[in-house]
Structure 1
Amino acid sequence: MTLFKRLTPVVLAVLAIAGPALALDINVTSFKLDNGMQVVVIPDHRAPVVTHMVWYKTGAADEEQGKAGVAHLLEHLMFKGTPKHPDGAFSRIVRANGGDENAFTTQDYTAYYQKVMKDRLPLVMELEADRMQNLELTDETVLPERSVVLEERRQRTDNEPGGLLNEQMDAAMYTAHPYGKPVIGWMSQVSKLTRQDAMDFYAAHYEPENAILIVAGDVTPEEVKTLAERYYGPLKNKRPTQERVRAEEPQPNAERRITMSDQRVSSPNWQRQYLTPSARQLPQREELAMSLLAEIVGGSSQSRFYQTLNLDKKLAASSGAWFDSDQLDYGTFGVYASPNPGVTIDQVEMEVDAIIADVVAKGVTQEELDRSRNSMIASAVYLLDSQDKLARMFGVSLATGQTIDDVLNWDRDLGTVTVDDINKAARTILDRKASVTGVLLPEEKSQ
């Protein structure tokens, strides 16, 4: 199992705009089973392979107070077994049939996937449908897996200064909303999670009506519908799907700053994140304007950051910008830079602030817009030329309140974005009062 990590700026941009569905001439079919489970079919007949994914519209932000990390722990425990397939048989069966499988958890969704030959699709549907309602857990299976998650946290966060800084920046950004706690959970709370905690979360959220089935590959909609009705159709919703009620983040009125020093850090790093609306709260044209703004500011070697910080003034060894709107409640616009040897954090930050101030005051150019738009389209075509990425693209969008039309109409909407749209986005979101700045420094060694 893997914790779904924050994606790279280019991938985030591509996922946000959901690019090449039309460029690759893909027909997407969607329907619902009688139990409310949504099914999406993405035919791709280039090879006799299918990617089968089940997305649950629940994640870390849906956990009860004091149970941080239970969504991710349950993701691990879903592989432990049912009465029909006990003791980790799920993974053994998939591997024995030449398949690949895994899962990931975020704040808003948990997804499970298998990539198999086409004739094994009924098998993985049967396995996934079985564990949707028949998970069986004991302390003997839960407690060792909880230890695995604790070790995962040590390796991925506690032993990574950059991970610790990002965790603290999220906690500073969200003073009320649950996005302020990490997906993997706080060590103090994960260590106390029990079998009953996991089963309670499972019972509350793992229902057909709260799930999305996505099948991409060498299939037809008719084939998938027949199989879905056979394996998922008989499942009943045992309780009404819970409304996702989350605390609203109060309007920020002061910028925040986190400074960390760590002896494991070899070179300093600077970053800033701005709180923004999420994709589902914005007209797609406005969301795309923010994605293009990130591309113009720091998305490529032609960006303002790279040209000024890296080339002209040689202040930064690396720099960039990104926009992540694929969350249910809030998005994030981020900028970052690592100074060259002999350059201070203050020098880099002053130059970053000057570039951002220039963008806000004077705006971007038509040439920058055209170049960035073409770059995003080209990146999307290459990155999404796989059934796995197509399945994930639609899964992320649907699990965070967006629609299939939002995905398929990206190129039309991208083409309508103007310089004025981007300039308005810059004035709207690049507000220091809605930002958190993070500084990571090498720890000074004592004499």
Structure 2
Amino acid sequence: MHHDVPIRPTRSRARAVAVARREAEAQARARLWLTGGAVLLALTLLALVLFAPATARAQMFNAETFTLDNGLQVVVVPNHRVPVVTHMVWYKVGAADEPAGKSGIAHLLEHLMFKGTDKIEPGTFSKIVARNGGRDNAFTSSDFTGYYQNIARDRLETVMAMEADRMVNLRLTEDDFQTERAVVTEERLSRTENEPAALLGERMDQALWSVHPYKNPIIGWAHELAALTRADALAFYHRYYAPNNAVVVVAGDITADELRPMAERTYGQVPAAPDTPERHRVRDLPPPVDITMTMSNPRVAQASWWRHIIAPSANTEHAELYAPLQVLAELLGGGPVSRLYDRLVVEDGVAVSAGAGYSGRAVDYGTFSLYATPAAGRTPTEVGAAIDAEIARLLADGVTEAEVAGAKTRLKASVVYARDNPFGAARILGTALATGGTVDDVEHWPEAIAAVTPDDVMAAARAVFQGASAATAILQPDTTS
């Protein structure tokens, strides 16, 4: 990820509020840990790409797409219920693309993009959006960075022009840089170093991802963040922020024919970069590891258990498991009728919550996650053992046609609202396109889910539960002090 989940302030109080909101969203989207609430959000976002009403060649959004002469891809999702649109700009760069020793630069640049241009005074971008009746936000993940506005249809071209302006004309003084780096440093202190779950999540990612850049926190390591310079930020900006390394998604009360002239008048005036940056990632991970770590902290009120497993994504050599892994996550831990919830919470009473999630829209590998919260008088070790026992049963006994059909039906039920949610539609399409997918992948994903069989689900289960790298974490209260 994620930031929106995963998802800054300038010096003003209003900006501080906006910052906090973006970071709260970022926490849910980033590739950190998945606790109960975050899992539900992640599952919801994942489910939205899964299923639509069953028709031949069913399409999720009936999206249209075109490409400007400068290489910018534009996607339009018409929805004429209300005269409002969601406008999103996605850059194909995230924390995993940062130069070695420069962790945090992608996220810091997200902050700095609100500093201004020759046309927009520093700190006024969001104020202009608000004066036009809209709201804006931004997010950074390991694989992409995005900016968005929800705005009335008749003000759309205004925000398109503003985004096109800062795509190429960012103005950044040394004072601006120092101020915002201090803000991010404080953000790391308050949201990570003073949060036991966040600290343990960082340790998990280090252990799980080893040499892969997914090991680095989106907000950056403290010592590397402190060493970042204005020159670093500008170099990163000029390298990655260009129309031929971006995607614009507009969902709402507009058609492609109406949007194209606006796009040409705004984004079309931005020159293409000389070349499109290649994403140099580590593809060959070390041999699988299985690591367990425990953290005790007096600030922890409720113990928790979770596990992250490296899994195939839509972009790996085993992309055929992408749809089955989503069905597996739903069947195993997608809600109150899932196997984990039924066994751990309803039958055995060892946990008060339990579930699973799968994040498979990534430039590189995906992550399959399991989590549980112990019931009163029970320990994280006990719930972990219970989850292991349920997985062993699944591997030994398999899954039934009825279970798989039920999981697919639940996924279908949770996505029927996607068509009516312009923001959700823009997020789904943007995530896919920024990580190597296509519009067609999203539009016809219902067919992929419909085709999943019990054998496919078991192949997915063996891929993640038999030999894949895993990091297990236990967070518990410290009662020694």
TM-score (norm 2): 0.89
SS of structure 2 residue aligned to 1:122: helix
Measured after TM superposition, the shift of residue 384 of structure 1 is 5.3
Indicate if the aligned counterparts of 1:10 and 1:379 stay in contact, CA closer than 8 A: no
Aligned to 1:12, which of 42, 46, 56? Answer: 42
> Which amino acid letter does the alignment assign opposite residue 6 of structure 1?
A
> Which amino acid letter does the alignment assign opposite residue 137 of structure 1?
L
What is the rounded CA distance, in whole Å, between the counterparts of 1:383 and 1:238 in structure 2?
Answer: 34
What is the rounded CA distance, in whole Å, between the counterparts of 1:39 and 1:428 in structure 2?
Answer: 36
Measured after TM superposition, the shift of residue 24 of structure 1 is 8.3
Tell which deviates more after alignment, 181-190 or 233-242.
233-242
Measured after TM superposition, the shift of residue 433 of structure 1 is 4.8
Indicate if the aligned counterparts of 2:353 and 2:374 stay in contact, CA closer than 8 A: yes
User: What does residue range 419-430 of structure 1 map to in structure 2 within 5 Å?
Assistant: 419-430=454-465
1:232 corresponds in structure 2 to 267
User: What does residue range 164-183 of structure 1 map to in structure 2 within 5 Å?
Assistant: 164-183=199-218
Deviations for 1:53-109, whole angstroms, at most 9, x for unmatched residues? Answer: 110000101111111101000000001001111212221211111110010000010
2:245 matches 1:210:
yes
Measured after TM superposition, the shift of residue 245 of structure 1 is 0.4
Aligned to 1:96, which of 131, 135, 144? Answer: 131
2:82 matches 1:47:
yes
Measured after TM superposition, the shift of residue 361 of structure 1 is 1.6
Indicate if the aligned counterparts of 1:21 and 1:408 stay in contact, CA closer than 8 A: no
SS of structure 1 residue aligned to 2:269: coil
User: What does residue range 65-214 of structure 1 map to in structure 2 within 5 Å?
Assistant: 65-214=100-249
Measured after TM superposition, the shift of residue 265 of structure 1 is 0.7
Tell which deviates more after alignment, 238-247 or 72-81.
238-247
Tell which deviates more after alignment, 215-224 or 87-96.
87-96
> Which amino acid letter does the alignment assign opposite residue 29 of structure 1?
E
2:333 matches 1:311:
no
| Structure 1 unaligned spans of 5+ | none
Indicate if the aligned counterparts of 1:20 and 1:384 stay in contact, CA closer than 8 A: no
Indicate if the aligned counterparts of 1:269 and 1:345 stay in contact, CA closer than 8 A: yes
Tell which deviates more after alignment, 210-219 or 376-385.
376-385
Measured after TM superposition, the shift of residue 349 of structure 1 is 1.7
Indicate if the aligned counterparts of 1:285 and 1:417 stay in contact, CA closer than 8 A: no
What do you get for the CA RMSD once the two structures are aligned? 1.7
> Which amino acid letter does the alignment assign opposite residue 119 of structure 1?
D
What is the rounded CA distance, in whole Å, between the counterparts of 2:167 and 2:133 in structure 1?
Answer: 23
What is the rounded CA distance, in whole Å, between the counterparts of 1:274 and 1:56 in structure 2?
Answer: 27
> Which amino acid letter does the alignment assign opposite residue 281 of structure 2?
R
Deviations for 1:95-150, whole angstroms, at most 9, x for unmatched residues? Answer: 11111001000001000001111110110011000000000101111111111111
Indicate if the aligned counterparts of 2:288 and 2:469 stay in contact, CA closer than 8 A: yes
Tell which deviates more after alignment, 425-434 or 369-378.
425-434
Indicate if the aligned counterparts of 1:175 and 1:249 stay in contact, CA closer than 8 A: no
Indicate if the aligned counterparts of 1:40 and 1:213 stay in contact, CA closer than 8 A: yes
Identical counterparts, % of pairs? 45
The change in CA–CA distance for 1:259 and 1:445 in structure 2 (over 3 A counts) is: same
Measured after TM superposition, the shift of residue 285 of structure 1 is 5.2
Indicate if the aligned counterparts of 1:285 and 1:416 stay in contact, CA closer than 8 A: no
Aligned residues: 446
2:336 matches 1:301:
yes
What is the rounded CA distance, in whole Å, between the counterparts of 1:25 and 1:336 in structure 2?
Answer: 30
Aligned to 1:265, which of 300, 305, 328? Answer: 300
| Structure 2 unaligned spans of 5+ | 1-7, 9-21, 30-37
What is the rounded CA distance, in whole Å, between the counterparts of 1:267 and 1:62 in structure 2?
Answer: 35
Measured after TM superposition, the shift of residue 233 of structure 1 is 1.0
What is the rounded CA distance, in whole Å, between the counterparts of 2:408 and 2:39 in structure 1?
Answer: 15
What is the rounded CA distance, in whole Å, between the counterparts of 1:29 and 1:46 in structure 2?
Answer: 18
What is the rounded CA distance, in whole Å, between the counterparts of 1:208 and 1:147 in structure 2?
Answer: 30
Indicate if the aligned counterparts of 1:37 and 1:213 stay in contact, CA closer than 8 A: yes
Tell which deviates more after alignment, 361-370 or 386-395.
361-370
1:338 corresponds in structure 2 to 373
TM-score (norm 1): 0.96
The change in CA–CA distance for 1:21 and 1:52 in structure 2 (over 3 A counts) is: farther
SS of structure 1 residue aligned to 2:432: helix
What is the rounded CA distance, in whole Å, between the counterparts of 2:121 and 2:46 in structure 1?
Answer: 39
Tell which deviates more after alignment, 9-18 or 325-334.
9-18
1:286 corresponds in structure 2 to 321
Measured after TM superposition, the shift of residue 167 of structure 1 is 1.2
Aligned to 2:452, which of 405, 417, 435? Answer: 417
Indicate if the aligned counterparts of 1:69 and 1:185 stay in contact, CA closer than 8 A: yes
Measured after TM superposition, the shift of residue 185 of structure 1 is 0.6
Tell which deviates more after alignment, 284-293 or 5-14.
5-14
